[in-house]
Structure 1
Amino acid sequence: MTRAAVDIGGTFTDVVTVDESTGELIQAKSLTTYPDPTPGFLNALTKATDRSALETVGYGTTLATNAVLTKSGAKTALLTTEGFRDVLEIRRTHRSSLFDIYEKIPRPIVPRPLRFEIPERTAADGSEVRALDEQAVRDAAGRIREAGVESVAVSYLFSFMNPGHELRTRQILQEELPGLSEDITISSEALPLHREYERTSTTVMNAYLTPLVRKYFRRLRAELQDSKLYAWLQMMQSNGGLVRPERAASFPILTLLSGPAGGVMASAYLGELLGETHLLTLDMGGTSCDVAGITDGEPDTRLDFEIGGYAVSYPTLDIHTVGAGGGSIAKVDGFGRISVGPDSAGSDPGPACYGRGGERPTVTDANLVLGVYDPDFQLGGEIYPDIDLAARAIERHVGKPLGLSVTEAAVGIVRLVNANMMHALRTVSIERGRDPRDFALVPFGGAGPTHGVHIAEELALRRVIIPPIPGCNSALGILASDVRHDLVGTLRARMIRLDPEDLQESLTVMADEAQRELEQDGIPPQMRTLRASLDMRYAGQAYEINVPLGSLRPDAPTLAQAIGDFHRAHETRYGHALGDDLVDLVNVRLTGLGTTPKPLLGGDAAAFGDAEPRSLRRVVSVGGEESKVPIYRRTDLLPGQTLATPSVIQQLDSTTYLPFGEARVHATGSLVVDLP
């Protein structure tokens, strides 16, 4: 049995395959193709393995993310309770830029003429206050048809307590608009939670993406079958788990952070193998840099986030993104300063050194000029970089305008992009009350290992761990991830008065649904795990903290333990805790996990002593010092060997630069660098 995972990035498409009978890992890269990434997807798979031998293919994509950021989703309409037409406009009082008086709020995805008020009303306890006006729904359907709408969202007040009106509305819309029958999202299924704005925004976002994602998956499956690839497809979700494409097509909000999630999961798996439970991850690809934290072996998660200025409430890995990648374009701004990113050269035309028509200098060009990258070694296994093109681009756009030599300008570019990534890492560490000295850094992506050690040293991290295949780490993470389903329901109660049977009833409903989903994913019963948690807060608060629930059959001691865990979590995060009689339950959550086989890292071979370099090469450090450093090939290195520093390690998918530190090869094949 051969399994594969594919991660489609802005510049390269990465593939990792594993032969379950031998444990052999194979990696491959191909340039991402635009506008349709499928040819690059198939090309990378062909490089890695015999496609006919594949049984499963995991897949990470930024399709949904790009659709939101470029506003290329479907024309969407909204049906909502009479009097609540403008919820999307009113939003929340929160401002992302407190002191920016010119801050622009993004226009709602659904314009006001396509937001229809429907006479109906459900009370907070789920009882019907006003019957659904079915004729109003049919009238709205007629106007939706005339407007050429492609997708519909339905979000009624308190539908999470009683979905009857939403279910009937969908039925009517399917009768009136048969062409949209698959593209109707109701809030009681998309997000059955209180908070009207977040629920409506999430439902609208899902409807906005559904037609695009559904058509893409159908086209992808057809093209794969035309290529004689009949493997079982699985999609990477934002929460770090896998899901079948049919569910992802119905709920594309699950995949909004699909791309970067794989790398975080790979880092958590690698940390488990190395005994490292506190990690910061740095995924620097061709277009952007994604950073995240892992504490006690578990990736940080959040229950809501914003994308493109729109609120989405769904469990997701807590990933922070900045425009700092190998393809980030360097320029001189209007103040006479070097600026790097967020604009990127991508894969087409790519950095100047690619020789594909790009004329503006990038971070990749700077590293080539400084000697970190080798003009005689293929980047990504496809491109021999042209150092003369890189030097000319840097000189023209940065060096001459500032009166700097090409080398000085290249050093400035690298130092600035490092500073941008350091700021991002501070966001997920220092700004969240964590001491970076307690963490190790895992840099990956095509460019992450080139910059990781310098960044770790600036932040006073104690160790750097460079994965065995850093440029394909996100694909490896998809291969190592479990199937996952997150379910949620609102249950409002004061904890000390909560009847465990009421909680048990909610958990039973969600557990049954999770089991059904895992069954459809082909997960056998012995490989399934269910975990429950509670969203809790003190009376009067407007935010919750999620704490684990010790049992799926809760009793009084279980609830008491949950209250104690909540107090401790609140004190850790906010510095204080209140009494048991003030703790409220808001939501109940259940996660269904389907365990999948994990790839084996490393091998039986081992060695001792110093590794042998292939050659020496001139390299200029970020401090401007020039020296000749050893050049290693990653494929030559064996567990147990030590490496000299400064040095450069070259491999198919990435280049690692070790300016200092004590470096050794771990049994997993990872490079472990202890910093002074």
Structure 2
Amino acid sequence: YVAPIVQSYLTELEQQVTRRGLRGPLRVMQSNGGVMMASMARRKAIQTLFSGPVGGTIACVAVAEQLQDEVDVSQLICVDMGGTSFDVSLVVDGEADVELESELERHPVLSPTVAIHTIGAGGGSVGHVSAGGLRVGPRSAGAEPGPACYGAGGHEPTVTDANLHLGRLPSIARLAGGMALDAAAAKSALAAVGEHLSLDADALATGMVAVADSTMANAIREITVLRGIDPRSFALVAFGGAGPLHAAALADELEINTVVVPADPGVLSAYGMLYTDIRHDVVQSFYAAVAETTEGAVAATLAELAERARLLVKEDGIDERAIALEPSADLRYVGQEYTVTLPLPDGPVLADLPQRFAEAHEVRYGHSNPAEDVEFVNLRMTARGSLRRPDAVELPTGATGEPAAVERTWFAGAWLPTPVHRRGSLGAGAAVAGPAIVLEDACTTLVPPSWTASVSTRGHLVLRRS
């Protein structure tokens, strides 16, 4: 299905890059959070399936590292809200959460993939009446004609229209730095659907935002609560064109106390692709009870895997000295269908493996049975090749200046005067108390009355409950 298309595309891309005189290696993002050379990607096309959203998760790992001296953000819920979709992923203990198996259109994908849950909710999601009630999405107005406020022929109300009508998108906003928004067109589209529900434009816009927020909060619960993870112990990182507008509301819904809007949130996924390393994963079946196998048998298989993984990374142009190996094992109680993957230490691995497995099983599934026998299913090896990463830029310190404008914004049943600050005018250490709006070309951040936003030394916006 995928391989012929990817092979053709990458071949053409390499030819165009060479023809235009661009220097340097062409690397392709992988679903596992690493990159590989385009020549390798042509042979391993399956590894590119989820590569776009994965870039955002890897960028969140970078954000966590850059904030570690200012905020405890080692546990992150990463949300990427664009025009048509809403992607949720996790950073756990400073690392992207990776699944060994995933599914695409009911087809199993048996390769490591950053765990991402996607729903049809974005700035272009259309509000409509179904079965006598208000629904938002998953259908989207797309980029053409787009929301009614784009003035490009769209007539159905979208989440963007609702945000504009409620003053959450300020009148001075210019999308992509130049396009003004048509508030009258947004109001007309909202009123037309509102008539069917006996609601005015204000009420319909409020309802659309509430429905969208609830849908997105449930998507976050899918990847946290339903897996036994408490979202309250995480910080929320919001990016994409629409994510920062809804971030504080999602945090309120999930009782999360810290929100981070990274620097350059509209292009964060692209930044993540520059921040990662070469990565290759290999696996070998290894069916054996822990109590019945030997250290030698495990070590021999891991050595074979290490050589295979090392050769793949070297083929991608990485020097032997820059390669790091990470062995792991898929384990389960005898008779189980599902496994838990544990990292393996250098040297002997068997002595404390049942105890480590029981502890990991308890964390993952909420129970364990130390008296049961544990067995290996697979042995794995991840090889990483270090690449040069973008230099982090520190902002000069600066006070919070005068707002660029004051908008009338709807919060919890009342219109409130809301200062609008341009993000580029806020230096490190600047603080903005809600209600406020922080505006930039790629997105808009909403700071509700119960929140305060401050700027980190690396330019990330950190929102905390007041």
Aligned position for 2:380 = 589
Tell me how many residue pairs correspond in the alignment: 461
The one of 77, 82, 88 aligned to 1:291: 88
1:420-459 counterparts in 2 under 5 A?
420-459=215-254
Structure 2 residue runs of 5 or longer lacking an equivalent are: none
Aligned position for 2:62 = 269
Q: What residue identity is the alignment partner of 2:441?
A: L
Q: What residue identity is the alignment partner of 1:222?
A: Q
Q: Distance in 1 between matches of 2:12 and 2:140?
A: 28
Q: Distance in 1 between matches of 2:278 and 2:197?
A: 52
Q: Is the 8 A contact 2:40 2:316 kept in 1?
A: no
Q: What residue identity is the alignment partner of 1:490?
A: S
Q: Is the 8 A contact 1:550 1:562 kept in 2?
A: no
Is the alpha carbon distance of 1:615 and 1:568 closer, same or farther for their aligned partners in structure 2, counting shifts above 3 Å?
same
Query: Superposition RMSD on alpha carbons, in Å?
Result: 1.8
TM-score of the aligned structures, taking structure 1 as reference length? 0.66
Q: Is the 8 A contact 1:408 1:624 kept in 2?
A: no
Deviation readout 1:286-322 (Å, 9 max, x if unpaired): 1100112222112222111111111112111111111
Aligned position for 2:287 = 492
Aligned position for 1:561 = 352
Q: Distance in 1 between matches of 2:445 and 2:189?
A: 24
Q: Distance in 1 between matches of 2:153 and 2:366?
A: 55
Is the alpha carbon distance of 1:354 and 1:604 closer, same or farther for their aligned partners in structure 2, counting shifts above 3 Å?
closer
TM-fit CA distance, 1:382: 4.8
Higher RCO by CA contacts (8 Å cutoff, separation 6 or greater):
2
Q: Is the 8 A contact 1:648 1:658 kept in 2?
A: yes
Instruction: Describe the SS at the equivalent of 1:267.
Output: helix
Is the alpha carbon distance of 1:225 and 1:388 closer, same or farther for their aligned partners in structure 2, counting shifts above 3 Å?
farther
Q: Distance in 2 between matches of 1:581 and 1:426?
A: 31
Structure showing greater radius of gyration is 1
Aligned position for 2:327 = 532
Q: Distance in 1 between matches of 2:429 and 2:393?
A: 11
1:366-405 counterparts in 2 under 5 A?
366-396=162-192, 398-405=193-200
Aligned position for 1:618 = 408
Instruction: Describe the SS at the equivalent of 2:453.
Output: strand
Question: Identity percentage over the alignment?
Answer: 39
Q: What residue identity is the alignment partner of 1:619?
A: T
Q: Distance in 2 between matches of 1:440 and 1:640?
A: 20
Q: Distance in 2 between matches of 1:329 and 1:604?
A: 39
Q: What residue identity is the alignment partner of 2:407?
A: R
Say whether residues 1:241 and 2:30 are aligned partners. no
Q: Distance in 2 between matches of 1:593 and 1:561?
A: 26
Say whether residues 1:347 and 2:146 are aligned partners. no
Instruction: Describe the SS at the equivalent of 2:26.
Output: strand
TM-fit CA distance, 1:329: 1.3
Is the alpha carbon distance of 1:345 and 1:231 closer, same or farther for their aligned partners in structure 2, counting shifts above 3 Å?
farther
TM-score of the aligned structures, taking structure 2 as reference length? 0.94
Instruction: Describe the SS at the equivalent of 1:559.
Output: coil
Aligned position for 2:212 = 417
Q: Distance in 2 between matches of 1:338 and 1:594?
A: 50
Q: Distance in 2 between matches of 1:331 and 1:476?
A: 36
TM-fit CA distance, 1:604: 5.0
Q: Is the 8 A contact 1:422 1:455 kept in 2?
A: yes
TM-fit CA distance, 1:591: 0.4
TM-fit CA distance, 1:563: 2.9
Q: Is the 8 A contact 2:228 2:366 kept in 1?
A: no
TM-fit CA distance, 1:222: 2.9
Q: Distance in 2 between matches of 1:452 and 1:515?
A: 41
Q: Distance in 1 between matches of 2:132 and 2:148?
A: 22
Instruction: Describe the SS at the equivalent of 2:317.
Output: coil
Q: Distance in 1 between matches of 2:157 and 2:181?
A: 13
Deviation readout 1:390-434 (Å, 9 max, x if unpaired): 2222222x2221122212211111111000011011122222222
Deviation readout 1:232-279 (Å, 9 max, x if unpaired): 221111111111122222222111111111111111221122121111
TM-fit CA distance, 1:325: 0.6
Is the alpha carbon distance of 1:228 and 1:401 closer, same or farther for their aligned partners in structure 2, counting shifts above 3 Å?
farther
Instruction: Describe the SS at the equivalent of 1:497.
Output: coil
Segments ≥4 residues shifted beyond 6 Å: none
Instruction: Describe the SS at the equivalent of 1:384.
Output: coil
Q: Distance in 2 between matches of 1:576 and 1:372?
A: 45
Q: What residue identity is the alignment partner of 2:173?
A: F
Aligned position for 2:417 = 628
Deviation readout 1:300-355 (Å, 9 max, x if unpaired): 2211111111111211111111111111111111x221111111122222222222
Q: Distance in 2 between matches of 1:219 and 1:273?
A: 37
Is the alpha carbon distance of 1:495 and 1:411 closer, same or farther for their aligned partners in structure 2, counting shifts above 3 Å?
same
Q: Is the 8 A contact 2:127 2:158 kept in 1?
A: yes
Structure 1 residue runs of 5 or longer lacking an equivalent are: 1-207
TM-fit CA distance, 1:581: 6.9
Q: Distance in 2 between matches of 1:283 and 1:348?
A: 21
Q: Distance in 2 between matches of 1:583 and 1:317?
A: 26
Q: Distance in 1 between matches of 2:427 and 2:366?
A: 47
Aligned position for 1:520 = 315
Q: What residue identity is the alignment partner of 1:352?
A: A
Is the alpha carbon distance of 1:444 and 1:597 closer, same or farther for their aligned partners in structure 2, counting shifts above 3 Å?
same
Q: Distance in 1 between matches of 2:380 and 2:289?
A: 17
TM-fit CA distance, 1:539: 1.0
Deviation readout 1:347-366 (Å, 9 max, x if unpaired): 22222222233222211111
Q: Distance in 1 between matches of 2:269 and 2:184?
A: 32
Is the alpha carbon distance of 1:382 and 1:257 closer, same or farther for their aligned partners in structure 2, counting shifts above 3 Å?
farther
TM-fit CA distance, 1:578: 3.4
Deviation readout 1:429-480 (Å, 9 max, x if unpaired): 2222222221111111110000001110121101111101111111111111
Instruction: Describe the SS at the equivalent of 2:352.
Output: helix
Q: Is the 8 A contact 2:330 2:342 kept in 1?
A: yes
Q: What residue identity is the alignment partner of 1:402?
A: L
Q: What residue identity is the alignment partner of 2:166?
A: L
Q: Distance in 2 between matches of 1:560 and 1:341?
A: 53
Aligned position for 1:675 = 465
1:186-265 counterparts in 2 under 5 A?
208-265=1-58
Q: Distance in 1 between matches of 2:398 and 2:117?
A: 39
Aligned position for 1:665 = 455
Aligned position for 1:40 = none
Is the alpha carbon distance of 1:356 and 1:225 closer, same or farther for their aligned partners in structure 2, counting shifts above 3 Å?
farther
Q: Distance in 1 between matches of 2:214 and 2:368?
A: 37
Q: What residue identity is the alignment partner of 1:514?
A: A
1:542-557 counterparts in 2 under 5 A?
542-551=337-346, 554-555=347-348
The one of 506, 510, 521 aligned to 2:301: 506
Say whether residues 1:466 and 2:261 are aligned partners. yes
Is the alpha carbon distance of 1:380 and 1:624 closer, same or farther for their aligned partners in structure 2, counting shifts above 3 Å?
farther
TM-fit CA distance, 1:579: 4.3
Say whether residues 1:578 and 2:369 are aligned partners. yes
Q: Is the 8 A contact 2:228 2:365 kept in 1?
A: no
Aligned position for 2:426 = 637
Aligned position for 1:651 = 440
Q: What residue identity is the alignment partner of 2:111?
A: Y
Is the alpha carbon distance of 1:367 and 1:227 closer, same or farther for their aligned partners in structure 2, counting shifts above 3 Å?
farther
Q: Distance in 1 between matches of 2:392 and 2:155?
A: 40
Q: Is the 8 A contact 2:170 2:420 kept in 1?
A: no
Q: What residue identity is the alignment partner of 1:562?
A: L
Deviation readout 1:150-187 (Å, 9 max, x if unpaired): xxxxxxxxxxxxxxxxxxxxxxxxxxxxxxxxxxxxxx
Q: Distance in 1 between matches of 2:419 and 2:389?
A: 34
